[in-house]
């Protein structure tokens, strides 16, 4: 049977155990690293969970999904972590935005240092 879909109609419900996240049952990650990551940085917290699932390999229930993700993500917020420069050529025409992106990169580098220290304990 075919019918129109009304605005607000639920088309699909994804059970919580199929959603990769900090609270997903069965997902294994470092609670120390998660505790060292501010809750406001939800994307970094999700990244920690994703890294943990990647490390589990085929043992992860999310292995098929994780294997489909790109291995690198070049963008203005995540330039190579080689410590060389803080510029983003793509934002050169927008100095205020470039300055904000540079500030975000500095914050992310600081967080990375804190998480590396927490992981080493």
Instruction: Compute the distance between CA of residue 87 and CA of residue 105 in angstroms, rounded to an integer.
Output: 10
The mean pLDDT value of the chain amounts to 78
For 33, other C-beta atoms within 10 Å of its C-beta total 20
pLDDT at 81: 47
**58 has pLDDT over 90:** yes
Whether the model clears a pTM of 0.85, i.e. scores above it, the answer is no
pLDDT at 7: 92
pLDDT digits (tens, 9 = 90+) for 4-55: 999 999 999 988 878 887 777 767 677 777 788 888 888 888 888 888 888 8
What's the mean pLDDT in 48-72?
A: 86
CA 67 to chain CA centroid, Å, is 15
């Amino acid at each position: 049977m075919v019918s129109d879909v009304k605005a607000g109609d639920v088309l699909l419900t994804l059970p919580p155990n199929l959603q990769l996240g900090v609270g997903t049952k069965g997902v294994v990650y470092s609670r120390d690293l998660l505790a060292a990551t501010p809750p406001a940085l939800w994307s970094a917290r999700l990244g920690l969970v994703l890294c943990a699932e990647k490390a589990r390999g085929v043992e992860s229930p999310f292995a098929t999904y994780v294997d489909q993700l790109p291995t690198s993500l070049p963008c203005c917020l995540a330039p190579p972590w080689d410590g060389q420069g803080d510029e983003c050529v793509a934002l050169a025409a927008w100095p205020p935005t470039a300055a904000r992106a540079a500030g975000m990169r500095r914050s992310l580098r600081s967080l990375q240092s804190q998480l590396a220290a927490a992981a080493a304990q």
